[in-house]
Chains A and B, each alone.
Chain A
């Protein structure tokens, strides 16, 4: 899967979760950039991303992810490792 494709699918998940069609996520996007993205919503986001890509983040990954770019790194790594 190409990086752009992951971003495309990820963008859809973000728009659904935050019910906001104007969201465009980039490599640098963090929770500071999206108003409703608080620690509680983060949990739902992680679950939705896992379901979208059929993979699971481990605890270490969830605690160290800094931005959307790093999330995409993990997703790509996991999908290719399959």
Chain B
């Protein structure tokens, strides 16, 4: 919903939250999550706004809210309601109002240090306790700067200054976050500075209602928080689709000619486009892939991208659509060629009419409302499309992988027989039980895979860790490499052993990067082998249809399973008897365990 994307109209959202909520609840396929809010100040409206932004991301939250300022008690001593609530995420909403012992001028260095440790330990004990009890993701606010500075500018420098104290305390929080998986900082220090600290800290709202920020600032806080949560559940965007003329450079390459485009350091309007190109290019290191969608002659588009002052070059893009087709059709083609849902695209175009058409015709597409070039970065950035929570090394290589795929497609065209093509790739797979170094990637994959996903069961990192330690699961990951490159971990199967000789497949996912490579058969062979080692006689498979996973509708049929039930929603159960033998299906991939 456009209304809930940055820049949003706070008045409208706050006034119409009931109406907006009703509308958002109509969306199909919402992911239900329990979120516990432990507050050090009033949290009611924070919860309401968070609900809207999460619904907009396809997540339907149920909330637990601590009593006013009982965050510490709830965390340390627990309570029955919270225990029974079974949170998926715990959010600790604290502010500088919850700092008890600030330094005073009479304190010596040691005393200030003690106070710092006292404040830090209070939080650390709480986090440790919550992790040991619930083992779920924790999101913790850092602290906003104080609203007055007793020492003036020295408040930032001197150990007695509140500003200095808060800066040091925040750093300790970050150190903890860097050492702790599933622990995330909600950076209200940054959000409050973007908003304006004086306005944010409007003391009217503290003294009247015990809100730690002014009420109209709450949507910004909740939006920032919702971005972390949607990222944890794999709902980040994955790719840019970019227009060219007046988006990546000033002017129209076909009319003005390459030499007259505005880009480069000579003029202000050229600088602004250079900076924008740099910003986009930085995203490649996050695993975000870049594509072009422009109404242009292809030769002109390439000539523009080869402008000597441009930082983005043709080879930075995976797919370049420069033609005269409607842009919404180009986007659908790009989605198909990349095997990604169009809802994982951010379409950047300076023309509001093009944005509107694409938005109307491509379900789930994001089309940031960029206005003038000097605001492009801010508007895209503040939308939090690519919020980083779990970053894996796979992300660094993603653009290369998509490139390799393009090369494979070219090679495929030279073979008449598909098996010959597969053999020519000289594929090698590693298929084995989970290893600690891959747990993060496995969790990420379980949250990102929508199409080749039989049950669409999502696993947080904490969930994967507990599966990994549980002996009643057979859990396999698969890596695949070929002559063009290493695809990394691209498939996961989790089966649960029940009634001694039954294996129930809870999860079977595969990245669409490796479709039609027979990797799923190599996995099946390995799964059966592992199952036999555990004296399994029957394997049960499940298919739960969603809007996105039609491609695996008859997956278990292809694997030789027998369908034993199918309900009205199309949920299917399959079984395969392996006690009387099993013939391996893969003959194109060399597998090592």
Is A44 part of the contact surface with B, judged by Cβ < 8 Å?
yes
Give me 30 A-to-B residue pairs in the complex whose CB atoms sit less than 8 angstroms apart, sorted by A's number. Answer: A13-B15, A16-B15, A16-B16, A16-B19, A17-B15, A18-B18, A19-B18, A19-B19, A19-B22, A40-B42, A40-B44, A40-B45, A43-B205, A43-B208, A43-B209, A43-B211, A44-B14, A44-B15, A44-B45, A44-B215, A47-B215, A48-B14, A48-B15, A51-B11, A51-B216, A58-B204, A59-B204, A59-B208, A62-B208, A63-B208
Give the dominant DSSP class at A's interface.
helix
Across the interface, name the chain A residue whose C-beta is closest to B202. Answer: A56
Q: Which residues of A have CB within 8 Å of B18?
A: 18-19
In the complex, A58→B208 CA distance in Å?
Answer: 10
Chain A 16-50 interface residues, beta-carbon cutoff 8 Å to B? 16-19, 40, 43-44, 47-48
Q: Which residues of A have CB within 8 Å of B215?
A: 43-44, 47
Nearest Cβ distance between residue A14 and chain B, in whole angstroms?
10
Nearest Cβ distance between residue A33 and chain B, in whole angstroms?
18
Interface size on B, residues (CB 8 A): 18
Give the dominant DSSP class at B's interface.
helix
Q: Which residues of B have CB within 8 Å of A59?
A: 204, 207-208
List 16 additional contacts besides A19-B16, A59-B204, A63-B208; criterion CB under 8 Å.
Answer: A13-B15, A16-B15, A17-B15, A18-B18, A19-B18, A40-B45, A43-B45, A44-B14, A44-B45, A48-B11, A48-B14, A48-B15, A51-B11, A51-B15, A51-B216, A59-B207
Q: Which residues of A have CB within 8 Å of B19?
A: 16, 19
Question: Which residues of A come within 8 Å of B, CB atoms?
Answer: 13, 16-19, 40, 43-44, 47-48, 51, 58-59, 62-63
Q: Which residues of A have CB within 8 Å of B216?
A: 47, 51
Across the interface, name the chain B residue whose C-beta is closest to A17. Answer: B15
Across the interface, name the chain A residue whose C-beta is closest to B207. Answer: A59
In the complex, A71→B512 CA distance in Å?
Answer: 60
Q: Which residues of B have CB within 8 Å of A44?
A: 14-15, 45, 215
In the complex, A17→B19 CA distance in Å?
Answer: 9
Contact mask for chain B residues 501-517; partner A; CB cutoff 8 A; 1 contact, 0 none = 00000000000000000
In the complex, A17→B14 CA distance in Å?
Answer: 8
In the complex, A64→B364 CA distance in Å?
Answer: 48
Q: Which residues of B have CB within 8 Å of A40?
A: 42, 44-45
Q: Which residues of A have CB within 8 Å of B207?
A: 59
In the complex, A13→B211 CA distance in Å?
Answer: 22
Nearest Cβ distance between residue B440 and chain A, in whole angstroms?
39
Between B15, B208, B215, the greatest number of chain A beta carbons within 10 A of the residue's beta carbon is seen for: B15
Q: Which residues of A have CB within 8 Å of B42?
A: 40
Contact mask for chain B residues 464-499; partner A; CB cutoff 8 A; 1 contact, 0 none = 000000000000000000000000000000000000
Contact mask for chain B residues 192-232; partner A; CB cutoff 8 A; 1 contact, 0 none = 00000000000011011101000110000000000000000
